[in-house]
Every structure is written in structure tokens, then in C-alpha cells.
Amino acid sequence: MLKNMSSFFVRTLREDPADAEVTSHKLLVRAGYIRRTAPGIYTWLPLGLQVLKRIEKVVREEMDAVGAQEVHFPALLPAEPYQKTNRWEEYGPTLFKLRDRKAADYLLAPTHEEMFTLLVKDMYSSYKDLPVTLYQIQTKYRDEARPRAGLIRGREFVMKDAYSFDIDQEGLNTSYDLQRQAYQRIFERLGLEYVICSAMSGAMGGSRSEEFLHPCEIGEDTFVRSPGGYAANAEAVTTPVPAPVDATNVPAFSVHETPGAKTMEALVEYSNEHYPRAEGDWTAANMLKSVVVALTHPDGEREVMVIAIPGDREVDMKRVEAAVSPAEVEMASAADFENHPELVAGYLGPQACGPNSPLRTVDEDGKISGSVRLLVDPRVVEGTSWIAGGNEVDKHVYNLVMGRDFTADGTIEAAEIREGDPAPDGSGPLELARGIEIGHIFQLGKKYAEALDLKVLDQNGKTQVVTMGSYGVGVSRVLAALAESCNDENGLAWPMILAPFHLQVLATGKGEELFETAGSIAKAVSDAGFDVLYDDRPKVSAGVKFADAELLGMPYVLVVGRGLKDGVVELRDRRNGTAVELPVAEASAEILRVLEENRESNR
């Protein structure tokens, strides 16, 4: 493919777009790869579309290599299957819903578990038909509350989603591993660094789940890793539970005045001053911090709940969100506090909520009411002693012992993970990092097959519910993640495997001969099967051509300019900044040698 810059549909911008915060977004817009159409919705210009196709090709090849078969579902889907699995409700406002002219409910699919399940149910009926893994590369829709970072969190985006169908768990393990290996090969071929993290499966249901994260400062996901090789999404990290503590010698709890000690810092200071203890200074770790949140359950019910964690940690709302999914969570509102006068803001302690509250009643069916639920951090084990709110303004309780003076309705992974926390598998202290989620693989198990009645006959002629896996790559997000790592201060810098053009030829100078030479080299390289962009613009300065080439980021740039009178042209390597002079007569051959050598390169 050979394109002339003079007629190629691209315009570069010298300024960053006003709405762009991250490098990939800025550069992809400035270099004319994409344009914003609406919040979180982008148009692919010729350059961007070409990179997207290159990524799709790699994804497709690796899917085909593990025997996954490609199909293509509609994006516009009837509501019914999603109602059966309850996701019509669970997705909440993230689901784009609409009605057709007959007032039938439809949605724009955020993911396709239901449809693949129904398709296999339609086509297959026996264990002999299994295993099968199907995939598509398709446009997905999610009405994100906060679309951001260009292609990284969009509302319309391209995704590869695959689904495996097996007769049993052993089969699912094999299918899952095949996809996992395919993902490793995809990201390796693309040159995209990744970490495989244990993950929570959230609204997807199911058991085993791992995320492929691209480590990157601007990533939305926090993950952890240990020297021993443990890696997990922050949401999925479980806190090692300490052994119970012997509280025999802890004095009975007592309520004390703590005037004005509304903050953790003030309470620690006040306690050390007025109620010092022999074992050493009180610290925030001795305080029990009670946080009031409000859940919105899929059925719309709002539930106020108290979370109690050690006072030296903050509540991580993303971890809470994952823990309570599919319910949504936010901090309790003023109205919530008005509805619950027993929850005294700033002085709340565990005795005013949970099982210990005098308001608590449990009916015959085990349904609790009267007092809100209290969930505690796993570190709040039997026998631990705390300073907690006294449930009255300016009062706190000292020596309040878990299991003796209060109990909880359960535990919750709500506290932030800290650098240096122990890995749950004992593999050492955790290090925190940020990343972009580029892939996610799930063992769904039987959730969808049960909801939609996907059964086949097994070897004994009995019906068996099929076991499923679900595997996604955010294709357009991968492009953004790659742009995030393939750039320097002058613009994009693509490796060969991704670049929309392998070579950009610049005619920097005047005269028919110069343009003829540049044009004929461009044509020769293109004729040999490489993609070439020839900057043939007649009245554009060398400086502008150089700057545009750096911004556009093709891996090799050939400059046909001043040197031509001495019979040489210059081949530049965009990524390492090196340049070599080539005699004109040998230029095409030498360029072809270099391109051929690096054809699949991802460096």
C-alpha cells in the first residue's frame, strides 16, 4: 500500500486537545488517528483504523491457533435473555436500553454471555459436541458514569470476547488455560507488558478469574505483587486473618469523655494525654473506625450498612464495591443518617449497630431488622481490643473487645491495601502498582447455563448443565495502552507489527529529481509488500515534514533531501533515533532488508 500525504486523510494538530488528560489520548488525536464524536465515543480515522486492524489480526490469529471459532453477534439485542440472568437489572444505568417501534425492550450489549449460551443451546445437544470455544471481535456499549482517558474507558469500544463450553470442570480448566496462553502470546507479540492478576469476577459470577493488567501510571486499576510472584487486583487481595487474641486480662470496657475528638488524629492525641496506658502510646491502629455506607441492591432497595476497620487504614471504596457487587455502594447521605438516628456521625461505635444493637430483631426466616448490618475488617478477630465511638457526641469506649463486647454480621475486604502488607499466599510483602486492564478471563461455571437452561446429554444419557468460561480483550483499549507506551516527547513511535505504515518517505527539498527519487523509492518499497506513506506535499517545509513524521510515528523514515546532490539519502529509526546514510542506488534494497528483518518486530 502506498499513500501520498498530499491526498491522505490526515491533519496533525500542534496543540493538545482540551479534553485530553493522558498521553495516548493527546497523541492519537494530535496525530490524526482518532476524533471524539461524543463523550467516550470515538471515530477511527484512516491511521487509527489501520492500527486497530493490525491488533485485530494478531488477536484473530491467536484465537484461531487455539481452535476458537469466530462468529459475530448483533450489538442490538432483545432484553429477554438478559432479564433471565438478571443482568438487565444488575447492570443498572451502565446498560444502554431502548425500545423499538413496537415498544419491545432492547439493549446495546455490554458483553454477550447470554447470547453465546443461547446459540450453543440452539446448535448443540450432546457431550460429543463439546468442548467448543467461540469468539467475536465486536463493538460493545457501556454507559460509563465517567468515560475518560480517550479510548481507555469509552462508551462504545471494540472487544474480543470468547466463551468456552465444556461438559465438566476439567474441560473448563483446559479451555481456560488455552485462552490464558493465547492472551500471553497476543500481548507478547504486540510488545505490551502485562501482569496476570488474580481478580474478583464481580457481576460476572463464577469462580476463577484473572486480569491481564498493563502496568502504567495512568491505569485505573490498582494491583499488587509480591517478590514471590503473587499478583492480584487490589479488589481481589484477601487479608491474612490473624489468630484470635487472648483477652482474659483486658479490663471491662468503659466509656470516657473525649470532647472534640472527632478525627482519628485528635482521638489518638486526646487518649494519650487523658487515658494513657502502660503498654505504650495509643496509635490509630488501636482505634476502630466505623464508616457508614449505603448499598443499592439490584432490586433498587437501599441498605445502610456500617463497616468497621482499624483506624490506621482508610476504606477503599473500589474494594468495597467489588465485595458487595452486584449491589452498588456510596457513602451514606445526610438523609441516611436522618433515617438512622442511632448512628451518631463521628462517634459511631459497633454497639449501636449489628447484632449487638438493642434495636436488632431477627424474625423466623432469619431476616434481620431494627439495626443496620455491621461488617468488620478480617483483622478484627476474636479478642482484639479497641477504642471505638461511644455512640454519643464527645464520648468513646475504651477496651471494647471483639467477641466479648460486640460481634459483627460478617467480615468485609474494605480496608485499603498498603505497600508492605503481607501477600495472602505468604510470598512476601506486597508492592502496589497501577495498571490498565487489557484482558480478563473468567471461569463462569454454570451460572449462565443454568439461568438459560443449556444442557447436553452426557456419556450416560443424562442431561448435564454445561460449564462455561468467558474471556475478553479490550481491543481498542489495547491500542490506547500501546500508544501509551510507544511514544516520546515528539510523538508516537510504533513498532513494525503495529505501525499503520512501515515506512514514511519525506521529500524535503525542491526540484523534480528529488521528488522523482523519493517517489520511486516509496513505490519500490510498497511494491515489495510494505505499507508506505510518501510525504509528497510540494509546498511544506522540511521542518514541518520532520515534525509530522515524528508525531505520526512510523518506525522508519526515509529523508530524501539535501544529501541527494551527494548521492545519499538518510534512513532514520524512529524509535532509537539513529540514522544511516544510504547511497541512492542501494537505498530500496537496503530499506527492504531492514524492513524484512523487522517485519514482526514489537520492540
Q: Which is nearer to a copy of itself, 156 or 409 (CB)?
A: 156
Q: Taking contact as CB under 8 A, which single stretch among the options 4-12, 325-333, 481-489, 527-535 is the one that binds a copy of itself? A: 4-12
Among 82, 91, 96, 212, the residue binding a copy of itself under the rule CB under 8 A is: 96
Q: Taking contact as CB under 8 A, which single stretch among the options 133-141, 557-565, 571-579, 593-601 is the one that binds a copy of itself? A: 133-141
Q: Taking contact as CB under 8 A, which single stretch among the options 6-14, 256-264, 427-435, 573-581 is the one that binds a copy of itself? A: 6-14
Task: Establish if 71 lies at the interface with a copy of itself (CB under 8 A).
Answer: yes
Could you tell me if residue 406 is left (phi over 0), alpha (psi between -120 and 50 degrees) or otherwise beta?
beta
Extended strands (E) in 100-208: 105-108, 132-141, 156-166, 195-198
Q: Taking contact as CB under 8 A, which single stretch among the options 73-81, 178-186, 344-352, 419-427 is the one that binds a copy of itself? A: 73-81
Q: Which is nearer to a copy of itself, 37 or 361 (CB)?
A: 37
Taking the complex as a whole, the smallest distance from the CB of residue 206 to a copy of itself amounts, in Å, to: 23
Pairing type for strands 302-310 and 373-376 reads parallel
Structural contact between residues 381 and 244, judged by C-beta atoms closer than 8 angstroms: yes
Q: Which is nearer to a copy of itself, 80 or 257 (CB)?
A: 80
Q: Which is nearer to a copy of itself, 52 or 199 (CB)?
A: 52
Taking the complex as a whole, the smallest distance from the CB of residue 338 to a copy of itself amounts, in Å, to: 27
Round the CA-based radius of gyration of the chain to a whole number and report it: 30
Residues 6 or more apart whose Cβ sits within 8 Å of residue 81: 114, 115, 117, 118, 452
Pairing type for strands 579-583 and 410-411 reads unpaired
402 DSSP 8-state letter: B
For residue 157, the number of C-alpha atoms closer than 13 Å in the C-beta half-sphere is 29
Pairing type for strands 361-362 and 69-70 reads unpaired
Task: Establish if 108 lies at the interface with a copy of itself (CB under 8 A).
Answer: yes
Among 143, 535, 548, 550, the residue binding a copy of itself under the rule CB under 8 A is: 143
Could you tell me if residue 300 is left (phi over 0), alpha (psi between -120 and 50 degrees) or otherwise beta?
left
Among 83, 86, 139, 169, the residue binding a copy of itself under the rule CB under 8 A is: 139
Q: How far is Cα 446 from Cα 168, in angstroms, rounded to an integer?
A: 10
Task: Establish if 119 lies at the interface with a copy of itself (CB under 8 A).
Answer: yes
Task: Establish if 57 lies at the interface with a copy of itself (CB under 8 A).
Answer: no
Q: Which is nearer to a copy of itself, 219 or 474 (CB)?
A: 474
Among 63, 115, 261, 400, the residue binding a copy of itself under the rule CB under 8 A is: 115
Burial 416-437 (b: 16+ CB within 10 A, else e): bbeeebebbeeeeebeebbbbb
DSSP string across 559-598: EESGGGGGTEEEEEETTT--EEEEEHHHHHHHHHHHHHHT
Q: 108 - beta bridge partners?
A: 76, 96
Task: Establish if 256 lies at the interface with a copy of itself (CB under 8 A).
Answer: no
Find the binding residues for a copy of itself in span 369-408 (CB under 8 A).
none
The candidate with the shortest Cα–Cα distance to 286, out of 263, 309, 307, 311, is 311
Q: 243 - beta bridge partners?
A: none
Q: Taking contact as CB under 8 A, which single stretch among the options 98-106, 341-349, 409-417, 479-487 is the one that binds a copy of itself? A: 98-106
Taking the complex as a whole, the smallest distance from the CB of residue 574 to a copy of itself amounts, in Å, to: 23
Taking the complex as a whole, the smallest distance from the CB of residue 528 to a copy of itself amounts, in Å, to: 18
Find the binding residues for a copy of itself in span 11-50 (CB under 8 A).
11, 32, 35, 37-38, 41-46, 49
**How long a stretch of residues is the chain?**
603
Task: Establish if 76 lies at the interface with a copy of itself (CB under 8 A).
Answer: yes
Amino acid at 555: P
Among 14, 15, 18, 122, the residue binding a copy of itself under the rule CB under 8 A is: 122
Q: Which three cell numbers stand for residue 232?
A: 492480584
Task: Establish if 518 lies at the interface with a copy of itself (CB under 8 A).
Answer: no
Task: Establish if 100 lies at the interface with a copy of itself (CB under 8 A).
Answer: yes
Taking the complex as a whole, the smallest distance from the CB of residue 354 to a copy of itself amounts, in Å, to: 34
Task: Establish if 582 lies at the interface with a copy of itself (CB under 8 A).
Answer: no
- Which helix or strand (DSSP H or E) is residue 543 part of? helix 542-552
Residues 6 or more apart whose Cβ sits within 8 Å of residue 472: 111, 159, 160, 161, 162, 439, 440, 441
Q: Taking contact as CB under 8 A, which single stretch among the options 9-17, 284-292, 390-398, 502-510 is the one that binds a copy of itself? A: 9-17
Instruction: Using CB under 8 A, count the residues that bind a copy of itself.
Output: 50
Taking the complex as a whole, the smallest distance from the CB of residue 157 to a copy of itself amounts, in Å, to: 10
Taking the complex as a whole, the smallest distance from the CB of residue 112 to a copy of itself amounts, in Å, to: 10
Taking the complex as a whole, the smallest distance from the CB of residue 369 to a copy of itself amounts, in Å, to: 32
Q: Which is nearer to a copy of itself, 67 or 251 (CB)?
A: 67
Among 141, 163, 282, 556, the residue binding a copy of itself under the rule CB under 8 A is: 141
Task: Establish if 67 lies at the interface with a copy of itself (CB under 8 A).
Answer: yes
Residue 599, burial from CB neighbour count under 10 angstroms (0-12, 13-18, 19+): exposed
Q: Which three cell numbers stand for residue 492?
A: 508516537
Q: Taking contact as CB under 8 A, which single stretch among the options 135-143, 205-213, 219-227, 342-350 is the one that binds a copy of itself? A: 135-143
Q: Which is nearer to a copy of itself, 166 or 405 (CB)?
A: 166
Structural contact between residues 267 and 289, judged by C-beta atoms closer than 8 angstroms: no
Output the CA–CA distances (angstroms, integers) from residue 34 to 47, 208, 419, in the order listed: 8, 36, 38
Residues 6 or more apart whose Cβ sits within 8 Å of residue 602: 188, 189, 190, 191, 495, 496, 497, 498
Q: Which is nearer to a copy of itself, 121 or 379 (CB)?
A: 121
Structural contact between residues 569 and 582, judged by C-beta atoms closer than 8 angstroms: yes
For residue 51, the number of C-alpha atoms closer than 13 Å in the C-beta half-sphere is 32
* Binding residues vs a copy of itself (CB under 8 A): 7-11, 32, 35, 37-38, 41-46, 49, 52, 67, 69-78, 93-94, 96-98, 100-101, 106, 108, 115, 119, 122-124, 132, 134, 139, 141, 143, 145, 155-156
